[in-house]
Amino acid sequence: MAFLDNSGDIILDAVLTDLGRKRMAEGNFRITQFALGDDEIDYSLYNKDHPSGSAFYDLEILQTPVFEAFTRENANINHGLMTFDGNAGLFYLPSLVANQKSGQVPGVAVKTSNVVYLAVNNTTYTTLTSGTGSLDQNSCIEQGKTTQNFTFETGINNNNDPAGGEQERLDFLVNTGLLDNDFTLMCDGRFLTAVHPMKDTSRFRYPKGSLSIPDVKIELNPTPLAPLGGAAGVVGRRTYILPSIDNMVEDQDIGSSSVFVSAIRGPRGRVVSFNFGVAPDLKASETAATPSKFALYGRTNLAAADLEGITASGTFDIIDTIVYLNGNTSGANTQLIVRIIRQAS
């Protein structure tokens, strides 16, 4: 995709997406709203120390070349521009952070070399988490299991500035309208065919005070969510709206960080948890033939030495797939690489 000519007047290069053409062919082409994006922009280029003054702070940003429009639906606006009720006085915005506190959050998924292993069946899970497997019940998640979870938190993660107290939560998140009641999860439905959301009976609390004890309970619903309709233009993509609960962990900076419950160091917003179910054809046991998707989209018959963090004997098939998670109010977003793993022998 070429860059647009930015040597003269500002021009607009407009194209229909693949999905737009499909909808036009079906007679369902109706545009009702717009959104704005800035995917090409690297805000770290904003130089508040520019020696020539404030007029030059964004010089490099304004010189950013812009790509021509893509026709693929998911390749244009990944991170949209935001409005927060016309409030121009915000200084902090929440982030979306994966919780990795395996000691305090039961069953939470922990990354190994930036991926989380998702076992396609119990045999694979048992092999990987047994004594010689070297993974455990946090670094390896069994698909469809409601006692294990991927957990993410929103909050102002700024090294406790502002602090993570109840008042700060009100001041910086609740009263500014930055609490995300629900989240959008996008994944590749060719591999991940079910998403188990959290129940509203879940709790994520740690009241202020050294004598308090964490009150954390993550319960997932065994009934998977139904994906949203639409977005048929992107092969395999499935979109889910996930519920969340309040993150009521307060001022946890007491004692060792090893006992911290929250991944956020600052005012905390919401917690969202879920687990995946994988496509039925990926669940084939090690005695069955290797499912073709592993050869098409991943790698097959890998020894443990080829896989980070695994020492178990035997060989394995893997597919790496990226999961996208967005806070629907604050726009906070993150990505997670899920490594779907199957014991092949």
Partner 1 sequence: MPTQYEPFNTSNDVTTTKTLLHEVIPITGSIVSGTYADGNIKNYSHGMFQSVYDYPFLSSSANHIFDITVGYDEESALSGAASVQNKKKINLYNQYAQVLLGYTGSTADGVRKFESDLLNDGQRAMKEVFFINFSRLITKDQIKKGSFALSLGTSSAFATPFADPRLVLADSLTTERTGFKNEAGGDYGVLYTSSVGINADSGVGNIFYQAGIAVITASVFNGVEMASSSAGGAQNVSEVLTGSAISGACDALRHRIFDLSFNNTTEINSKIYFCRVGHNKYNYSSNPTYLTGGEIRVKDVASDNPIAYITTIGLYSSTNELLATAKLSEPLRKDPTNELTLRVRLDY
- Of the pair 282, 325, the CB lying nearest partner 1 is at 325
93 touches partner 1 (CB under 8 A) = yes
Q: Does 86 bind partner 1 (CB under 8 A)?
A: yes
Does the protein bind partner 1 through residue 70 (CB under 8 A)? yes
Instruction: Select from 177, 222, 230, 236 the one that contacts partner 1 (CB under 8 A).
Output: 230
Task: Determine if 88 is a binding residue for partner 1 (CB under 8 A).
Answer: yes
Residues 154-213 that bind partner 1 (CB under 8 A): 155-159, 161, 184, 186
Specify the stretch interacting with partner 1 by CB under 8 A; choose among 85-93, 104-112, 203-211, 217-225. Answer: 85-93
Q: Taking the complex as a whole, how short is the minimal distance between the CB of residue 269 and partner 1, in angstroms?
A: 11
For residue 207, say if its preceding peptide bond is cis, omega within 30 degrees of 0: no
Tokens representing residue 253 in the block: 């900076």
Sequence length of the chain is 345
Chosen residue from 59, 81, 170, 226 binding partner 1 by CB under 8 A: 81
The CA-to-CA distance between both ends of the chain, in Å, stands at 43
Shortest distance, CB of residue 209 to partner 1, whole angstroms?
24
Beta bridge partners of 248: 205
Q: Which residues, other chains included, contact 90 with Cβ-Cβ below 8 Å and sequence gap of 6+?
A: 84, 176, 178
In the numeric block, which tokens belong to residue 168?
A: 């700060």
Q: Does 79 bind partner 1 (CB under 8 A)?
A: yes
CB proximity list for 222: less than 8 A, separation 6 or greater? 146, 196
Among 25, 26, 27, 31, binds partner 1 (CB under 8 A): 31
34 binds partner 1 (CB under 8 A): yes
Of 2-10, 104-112, 123-131, 314-322, the segment contacting partner 1 by CB under 8 A is 2-10
For tokens 């092949």, name the residue: 344
Instruction: Please report whether residue 266 would count as binding partner 1 according to CB under 8 A.
Output: yes
Cα distance between residue 216 and residue 259, in whole Å: 13
When asked if residue 51 is in the footprint of partner 1 (CB under 8 A), the reply is no
| Side chain identity, residue 323 | V
Look at residues 209, 195, 278 and name the one whose alpha carbon lies nearest to residue 241.
Answer: 195
Query: Which residues between 285 and 314 bind partner 1 (CB under 8 A)?
Result: none
CA separation, residue 221 to residues 147, 149, 242, 336 (Å): 10, 11, 11, 21
- Minimum distance from residue 210 beta carbon to partner 1 (Å): 25
